Amino acid sequence: MTANGVTVVGAGYVGLATAVSFAHLGHRVTCVEKDPARREALAAGRPPFLEDRMEELLTAGLRSGHLSFVAPETADYSGTGFVFLCLPTPQAPDGSADLSALFGAIEQIAPQLRPGSIVVDKSTVPVGTARTIIDQLDRPDVGVVSNPEFLQEGAAIDAFLRPDRLVIGADDPSAAQAVAALYAPLNAQVMVTGLASAELAKYACNSFLATKLSFVNAIAALCDLTGADVGEVTAVMGADRRIGTAFLRPGPGWGGSCFPKDTSALVATAARAGFDFGLLRATLASNRQSFDWVVSLAAELCDGRLEGRRVAAWGLTFKAGTDDLRDSPALEVIGRLQAAGASVVAHDPVVDRCAAVPTATDPYQAAVGADLLIVLTEWPVFATHDLRRVADVMSRPVVLDTRGLIDPAKARAAGLVYRAIGRAGGAPARVRAGDARSALGQPDRHRSPEPSGA
Ligand code: UGA
């Protein structure tokens, strides 16, 4: 490790995106990863998960010599300028964040750090953790900075290289400046805050977005009951600049490795601080209600009975553009369908096997003999499948599209009974197309392509 090199501890989504992107910016990066198989694959240029541009930047970094991977036992922190902590902070049984991996790393690195180096926390950690790191390090000659990440899986590299803002929480302005300098080539907006604010801001962002989604999904359920169309309603909402157009796509509920964990952790942090964050508890409950709502619509489409029904599920990942199944809404819904007695066969374009459900590698194969096809993940390819072929192989040609992906007119023309969440029988949006597009189509570069009419 060179004197001004960057060490990244942890080669998960955050760590790897950070490591390859810093190498891309010209820094010398050493990435510390404990899993030997993952380390070996990475050193051979093979990313452990599907992520846009990851392989390209990984191989470029290895080839240029700017990027290397080492085991924790052989990592030498004595020459590095910056140590980025990118370790998992999973949910503990009480809903709080489990910080054992983070503190384990601190214990290891504390005696090795050279004076003047800076420890940067990028893991999502409860407010107050940086202070605990300072205490545990017990190295007044080493800086501690909180630099939360706002990467979205599937667009992680792009989000790193073109961030909305960089958040740098620090007590010491010179440490904040040194960390900001690492990102200088990005010309990004830098927001320097206190340590606690940086930590809380990360949770505030994720929890706010989760709340926005719970709200939209509740509106979609209300649309189902009142005859309103969620595509029209969200177009009107999104045209209000105070609300904004992003994160208004209804779905089967939200999930992934971050929103559920971070929302629960903020509820737990608030409770410990003496505040009952009832709004967020409602956000979480509302998400469970969304999964249940989807299952009740599925039952309705199966004449009120899921027991003994064959259901084809398109989509397993928690969203499109990733192969991540962690806390996937698709799996939540599939689990509930199975619990109600349905036998489910799933198809996903990037997941061949899944412990929770039998899979078919072919979308039409999954639909053979099905009483219902349910679309659960917003993979754009699902909108391009041959719907006549789908209708032909199903036992009852009925589709429940929880992502509003499939064109209702095409589905009906193919002989399918089509129903989308919040669309009162799947009616296409009546908002004039041009207006709807300008209201919802303003490019949010992190988003998957907007489903038709939503
Ligand atoms: C989320 C945040 O968006 C990132 O800013 C944050 O950095 C990251 O967590 C993290 O904490 O590491 P991510 O988990 O990759 O990113 O997923 P999102 O793209 O936010 O999607 C989360 C869930 O919301 C998915 O299930 C997705 O399908 C759903 N979603 C999203 C909708 O149902 N509708 C939308 O309009 C947008």
Per-residue three-class SS string for 139-191: CCCCEEEECCCCCCCCCHHHHHHCCCCEEEEECCHHHHHHHHHHCHHHCCCEE
What pLDDT score does 128 carry?
95
Which atom number of ligand 1 is nearest to the Cα of residue 202? 11
Protein residue with least CA distance to atom 2, ligand 1 = 152
What pLDDT score does 425 carry?
52
Is the per-residue pLDDT at 110 higher than 90?
yes
Protein residue with least CA distance to atom 17, ligand 1 = 152
Which atom number of ligand 1 is nearest to the Cα of residue 329? 26
Mean pLDDT of 90-98: 87
Which atom number of ligand 1 is nearest to the Cα of residue 251? 33
Which atom number of ligand 1 is nearest to the Cα of residue 446? 19
> If DSSP codes are grouped into helix, strand and coil, which group holds residue 59?
helix
**If you measure from the C-alpha of residue 256 to the centroid of ligand 1, how many angstroms do you get, rounded to a whole number?**
7
Mean pLDDT of 125-146: 96
Q: How far is CA 349 from CA 50, 152, 380, 382, 440, in A?
A: 12, 20, 10, 9, 26
Is the per-residue pLDDT at 429 higher than 60?
no
pLDDT tens by residue, 170-192: 999 999 999 999 999 999 999 99
Q: In the numeric block, which tokens belong to residue 326?
A: 């962690």
Which atom number of ligand 1 is nearest to the Cα of residue 328? 26
* Cβ proximity of 357 and 346 under 8 Å: yes
Q: Which residue has the tokens 């979609």?
A: 220
In testing the pocket of ligand 1, which one of 216, 258, 376 has its CB within 8 Å of the most ligand atoms? Answer: 258
Mean pLDDT of 373-385: 98
Instruction: Indicate the pLDDT class of residue 95, thresholds 50, 70 and 90.
Output: confident
What pLDDT score does 4 carry?
65
Q: In the numeric block, which tokens belong to residue 301?
A: 């489409």
Catalytically annotated residue among 86, 223, 258, 302: 258
**If you measure from the C-alpha of residue 166 to the centroid of ligand 1, how many angstroms do you get, rounded to a whole number?**
18
Is the per-residue pLDDT at 106 higher than 60?
yes
Instruction: Indicate the pLDDT class of residue 101, thresholds 50, 70 and 90.
Output: very high
φ, ψ (nearest 5 deg) of residue 254: -105, 160
**If you measure from the C-alpha of residue 263 to the centroid of ligand 1, how many angstroms do you get, rounded to a whole number?**
12
Is the per-residue pLDDT at 444 higher than 80?
no
**If you measure from the C-alpha of residue 414 to the centroid of ligand 1, how many angstroms do you get, rounded to a whole number?**
33
In testing the pocket of ligand 1, which one of 54, 86, 124, 213 has its CB within 8 Å of the most ligand atoms? Answer: 213
**If you measure from the C-alpha of residue 152 to the centroid of ligand 1, how many angstroms do you get, rounded to a whole number?**
6
Which atom number of ligand 1 is nearest to the Cα of residue 247? 36
**If you measure from the C-alpha of residue 114 to the centroid of ligand 1, how many angstroms do you get, rounded to a whole number?**
37
**If you measure from the C-alpha of residue 136 to the centroid of ligand 1, how many angstroms do you get, rounded to a whole number?**
32
Q: Is 128 left (phi over 0), alpha (psi -120 to 50) or beta?
A: left
pTM assigned to the model: 0.92
What pLDDT score does 96 carry?
85
Q: Quick one: the chain helix, strand, coil %, rounded to 5? A: 45, 15, 45
Q: Which residues of 43-53 are buried (b: 16+ CB within 10 A; e: fewer)?
A: beeebbebbeb
Q: Is 205 a catalytic residue?
A: no
In testing the pocket of ligand 1, which one of 16, 51, 149, 318 has its CB within 8 Å of the most ligand atoms? Answer: 318
Protein residue with least CA distance to atom 16, ligand 1 = 152
Is the per-residue pLDDT at 3 higher than 90?
no
Protein residue with least CA distance to atom 33, ligand 1 = 251
Name residues contacting ligand 1 (CB within 6 A).
124, 149-153, 206, 209, 213, 247-249, 251, 254-256, 258-259, 318-319, 329
Protein residue with least CA distance to atom 5, ligand 1 = 150
Is the per-residue pLDDT at 338 higher than 50?
yes
CA nearest neighbour of 263 among 245, 282, 249, 248: 282
What pLDDT score does 427 carry?
47
> If DSSP codes are grouped into helix, strand and coil, which group holds residue 307?
coil
